[in-house]
Amino acid sequence: MMHILISNDDGWGAKGILTLVKVMRQYGEVTVVAPSGPQSGQSNAMTVGEPVSLDLVSEAPGLRIYTCSGTPTDCVKLAFHQLFTDRMPDLVCSGINHGDNGTINVLYSGTMGATFEGTVHGIPSIGWSICNHDPDADFSEMERWMPELMRLILAEPYAFGRCWNVNAPAGRIKGIRFTRHCRGYWAKEWKMVEEKPGHMLFTLAGDYVNLEPEAEDTDQWACANGYISVCPDSIDMTDYTVLKHLQEHA
């Protein structure tokens, strides 16, 4: 039986994480350390300069639930530090996020922040997301595919710095595709809500711009065409192609 650490960025009461806990209990013992409130868009942020709390919510055979006042990254770091002192978990799972974490969203995602943090500490890690922001999103179709996704992912050997970014379409699912992150960005990112001379207030908005809508090997294409996207991620951000060129020519 595995020991699985679960976190997310929508907060510990979200439907997505409850679904993930339900599925993962079939694979072993589960410890949840999830944010006490919403932490979407928190990327790999850490809480610097103020204390972070870790509170036990419930404890039952095979399932412990803690909340943390910090970011998703804080949650995973605290779990490793305080709750897994004898033995590290076998797997870190984050999500299921209510919303797409493919393409450029991987940079901003707190769900992926928690996933990357598992990888940093040498643990196989999976970020799970559904392309549906609704707090009451229907996870049943995705859930049906999760055993096959677990089988595929757990069959791959762990390598330092590697983790998994799984995004499922909101509706009916046709199959699974291994993908790369689509190139894209957010435009019209702010809505001005106040303007005085020298002072402005904005709230976050945004329209996604897909820079390669025709490419069929991307996470965006997969999800838009009814497939679950499985993208292998690396936390090593070095651009080795450029590095090789520089070392030879600069």
| Contact positions with its own copies (CB under 8 A) in 91-120 | 104, 106-108, 113, 116, 120
The number of angstroms, rounded, from the C-alpha of 37 to the middle of its chain's C-alpha atoms is 16
Under the binding rule (CB under 8 A), the answer on residue 134 touching its own copies is no
Tell me how far apart the alpha carbons of residues 81 and 47 are, in angstroms, rounded to a whole number.
15
Task: Report the site for its own copies in 163-182 (rule: CB under 8 A).
Answer: 178-181
CA–CA gap between residue 160 and residue 95 (Å, rounded):
22
Q: Counting contacts by CB under 8 A, is residue 60 touching its own copies?
A: no
Query: SS3 for 126?
Result: strand
> Can you give the length of the chain in residues?
250
Residue 2 binds its own copies, judged by CB under 8 A? no
| Position among 22, 175, 225, 246 found at the interface with its own copies (CB under 8 A) | 246
Binding of residue 81 to its own copies (CB under 8 A): yes
To the nearest whole angstrom, how small is the minimum distance from the Cβ of residue 26 to its own copies? Answer: 22
Q: How far is the CB of 25 from its own copies (least distance, A)?
A: 22
H or E, element range at 108: helix 105-108
- Minimum distance from CB of 73 to its own copies (Å)? 7
| Distances in whole angstroms, Cα of residue 30 to Cα of each of 6, 22, 107 | 7, 10, 27
Is 210 a binding residue for its own copies by CB under 8 A? The answer is no
Binding-site size for its own copies (CB under 8 A) equals 78
CB of 47 or CB of 138, closer to its own copies: 47
Q: 96: cis peptide before it, omega within 30°?
A: yes
CA distance 96 to 139: 9
Least CB distance to its own copies at residue 176 (A): 9
Is the Cβ–Cβ distance between 37 and 110 less than 8 Å? no
Rounded least distance, CB 1 to its own copies, Å: 25
Residue 22 near its own copies by CB under 8 A: no
Tokens 């809480």, located at residue: 47
The answer to whether the beta carbons of residues 58 and 18 sit under 8 Å apart is: no
Nearer to its own copies, 28 or 173 (CB): 173
Work out which of 14, 24, 30, 78 binds its own copies, going by CB under 8 A. Answer: 78
Q: Least distance to its own copies from the beta carbon of 140, Å?
A: 25
Structure tokens at 239: 């651009």
Any idea what the Cα angle at residue 14 is, between residues 12 and 20, rounded to 5°? 85
Question: Can you tell me which of 22, 26, 190, 225 binds its own copies, judged by CB under 8 A?
Answer: 190
